[in-house]
């Protein structure tokens, strides 16, 4: 290797390592801020879904209703803090005078905090993985509305944590049979047949269509179980 090129690579590597060392402190600060803020909020349900869903559409309005009814039952609502389904869920919580939490992530295009988050419950994150920890640690249930790659990522993150018992069993619902059925068919016809999941893994979540089903499922689950942080 050319001596000059080797020297440049070594210098760039050292600079990168120095940056990574300082980055640890920023990551720690996000964890500390999130833990301190969310530990005071109480039992919450996280609602995930597309940032691109428009007001007036079926799933936007359904998200408002689900969040409103969960709030009326005493749950706080946690979302990713942005537009679309997240905005609808925060709006529903606000309509019921419930706790409306937004875990916002800095993104270059579509993400901005919506107007329905409680001012003292808006947290901003640079790191997706820190944000995911906040969702999973402080949520006592998960509602998956229709969404894109991000929603699928969150679904598989949660179902994996439950499957591997990294935290205790949690109630999780997928809302919209028509939307989710193709994925469920693939899980059953491919993953299950290939032996990559067990039949009982498909019982880690429910598929529903209405706000009544969501709320009933959450309430039934906690009639005999304690509400507490997950780990």
Stated as kind and residue range, the H or E segment containing 219 is helix 211-221
CA angle 76, 82, 85 (to 5 degrees): 70
**Measured distance CA(229)–CA(214) in Å, rounded:** 21
Q: Considering Cα of 137, then 138, then 144, then 148, what sign does the dihedral take? A: negative
Say what the pLDDT of residue 39 is. 87
Cβ-in-10-Å burial (0-12, 13-18, 19+) of 25 comes to exposed
Say what the pLDDT of residue 4 is. 63
Contact 76, 104 (CB under 8 A): no
Say what the pLDDT of residue 227 is. 74
Instruction: Please state which of the four CATH numbers 3.40.50.450, 2.40.50.140, 3.60.70.12, 3.40.50.300 is assigned to the domain occupying 37-219.
Output: 3.40.50.450
**Measured distance CA(86)–CA(116) in Å, rounded:** 10
What are the domain boundaries of the chain?
37-219
Say what the pLDDT of residue 212 is. 98
Block means of pLDDT (10 residues each) for the chain, 231 residues, are 58 59 87 91 95 97 98 96 96 97 80 89 92 91 96 96 88 97 97 97 96 97 78 52
Overall residue count recorded for the chain in this entry: 231
**Measured distance CA(140)–CA(158) in Å, rounded:** 12
Say what the pLDDT of residue 105 is. 86
């Amino acid at each position: 290797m050319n001596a000059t090129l080797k020297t440049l690579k070594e210098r760039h590597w050292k600079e990168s390592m120095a940056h990574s060392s300082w980055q640890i402190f920023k990551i720690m600060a996000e964890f500390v801020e999130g833990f301190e803020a969310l530990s005071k909020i109480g039992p919450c349900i996280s609602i995930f879904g597309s940032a691109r869903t428009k007001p007036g559409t079926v799933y936007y309005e359904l998200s408002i209703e689900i969040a409103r009814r969960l709030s009326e039952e005493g749950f706080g609502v946690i979302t990713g803090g942005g537009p679309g389904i997240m905005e609808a869920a925060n709006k529903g919580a606000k309509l019921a005078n419930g706790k409306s939490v937004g875990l916002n992530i800095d993104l270059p295009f579509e993400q901005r905090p919506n107007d329905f988050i409680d001012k003292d419950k808006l947290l901003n994150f640079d790191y997706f993985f820190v944000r995911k920890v906040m969702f999973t640690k402080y949520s006592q249930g998960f509602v998956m509305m229709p969404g894109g790659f991000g929603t699928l990522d969150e679904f598989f993150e949660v179902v994996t944590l439950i499957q591997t018992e990294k935290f205790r069993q949690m109630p999780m619902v997928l809302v919209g049979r028509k939307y989710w059925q193709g994925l469920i068919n693939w899980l059953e016809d491919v993953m299950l047949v290939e032996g990559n999941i067990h039949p009982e893994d498909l019982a880690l979540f429910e598929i529903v269509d209405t706000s009544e089903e969501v709320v009933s499922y959450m309430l039934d689950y906690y009639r005999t179980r304690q509400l507490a942080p997950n780990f």
